[in-house]
Amino acid sequence: MTMERELAGKIETRSATIAVIGQGYVGLPLALEYARAGFTAIGIDNDPDRVAGLNFGQSPTPDVPDAELRELLASGRYRATGDFKALAQSDVVVICVPTPLRKSKDPDISYVIAASEQTAVNFHPGQLVVLESTTYPGTTDELLIPMLAQRGATVGETVFVAFSPERIDPANKQFKVKDIPKVVGGATAACTRMAAALYRTIVPDVYEVSSPTVAELAKLYENTFRNINIALANEFAVMCRKLGVSSKEVVDAAATKPFGFMPFYAGPGIGGHCIAVDPFYLSWKMRLNGYEPRFIHIADEINASMPEYVVEMVADALNERQKSVKGSAVLALGVAYKANVGDTRESPALEILAMLQAKGAQVTYSDPWVPSTPIGDTELKSVELTDQRVADADCVLILADHAAFDYAAIVAQAGLVVDARNATWGLEAPEGRIVRL
C-alpha cells in the first residue's frame, strides 16, 4: 500500500491524528473542528499559560465558548501541549502561527520558520503538512519544502505538502470554520488530493488550485482588495465631509445597486492581524522581483493618515465649543481594532489616543473587551461606562462600535460625540452635538 493510500484511509476513517501548531483565534477553532469530526486533535502552542488554560477548559478566544472546549476535552479527542514531540505521533500537521510585520513593514516569518523547523525535526514518512499562516507567495516552496527535504522527505511520495489560507473572521457569528470554503494548493497533485480530502471532512466546499503559490496569492489578494477599498472609503469620507454630506448615506445609497458594487465604510484607520498586514507581504515579495505595487502604497498612505484626521476632528469639534485639546477630558469608546473583539493589534485607536495624550488631553477609555492597554508610555485601564462619566467628558470619541454600548443613551448624555465609526447613525441630537466621519 502506498503512503498516499494509507493516509487517505486514515483520513476517511477519522483514525488520523491531527496536530495544529498555534492555538490562537485560527488554530484553536480549526483543531476543535477536527475533534468534532471524530479525529484525535492535538493543539500545540509554545505559551505554557495558554496550554494550561486550554487543558483546564479556558478558551483564549471569544469565538470558542469554554463549554465547547470542555466538551471536546472530556471526549478525549482534543488536548493541548507545548511539547513539539507530539508532531512525531501525528499523521497531519497544520501550521497556524502569527505572521506579523516588523517596524520596517517587512515580513516577520520567524514564527513560521520555527514551526517549520519543528515539523521537519519531527517528520516521519506518510505525513501531510499544511501551512495556513498568511505569508508571502513562495513560502511553502522556498521555506517549508526544503526543510522537509533535508530530513529525507520526498514531496508527493513520503510527505504531502500544501498551503490552505486561513479565512477566520473574529466575532463573525454567521461564518465559522465549517461555513467558509477552503482554498487548497498542493506541491503535487497527490498533495492537493490529500489536503482537499482532509478539509472536506470539516468543510463542504473545497476549491483546489494548481500550486501553493496560487493559494498564497489568493489570500493576499482577498485582503489587499479589502485594504484598498477601505482606503477608498476613507478618502471618500474625507471628501464627503468637505462637501457637507454623510459618506455613510452616500455608500448606503450606492449599495442599492444589485451588481457591480460592494459597500465599504470609513473608519479611524485599519488594524488587526490581516488587512493591515497582509498587503505588505505581497509588496515585499514583488519588490524583490523588481516591481513596485503602487496601489498598496497609496492605500497605506490613506489609511495611515486616518488616525491624525480623527484627532483633527476632535480638535475642531472642541474648538467650536471654545475648548482646546489640552486639558479636555476625552472618553474613548472602544480601543480594539474592530467591533466585538478584544484584539488591539495594529488598532488605530491606540495611535489616536497616544496623539491626543501628546496634545495634553486627559484620555480615558471604556472597552468591555480590553481591560487594559498601553497608550504611549502609560498603561490605561478600561473604566466603567456610566451616564455621569459620559456627561462629564468634554468629548466622547467612538473608535470601536461594540454592540455592548448603548449609543442612544450615550448621545442623550454626552455634550459632544465624535463618531469615527458612524455607530450613532440615525440617532437624533441637537445640531453640532454629533460629529461623524
Residue that the C-alpha cell 455621569 belongs to:
388
Instruction: Using alpha carbons, select from 141, 88, 133 the residue that is nearest to residue 110.
Output: 133
Among the listed residues 281, 254, 201, 248, the one whose alpha carbon sits nearest the alpha carbon of residue 34 = 201
* Cα 8 from Cα 244, distance rounded (Å): 62
Cell of 105: 513593514
Q: How far apart are CA 80 and CA 73, in angstroms?
A: 9
Q: Catalytic residue numbers?
A: 274
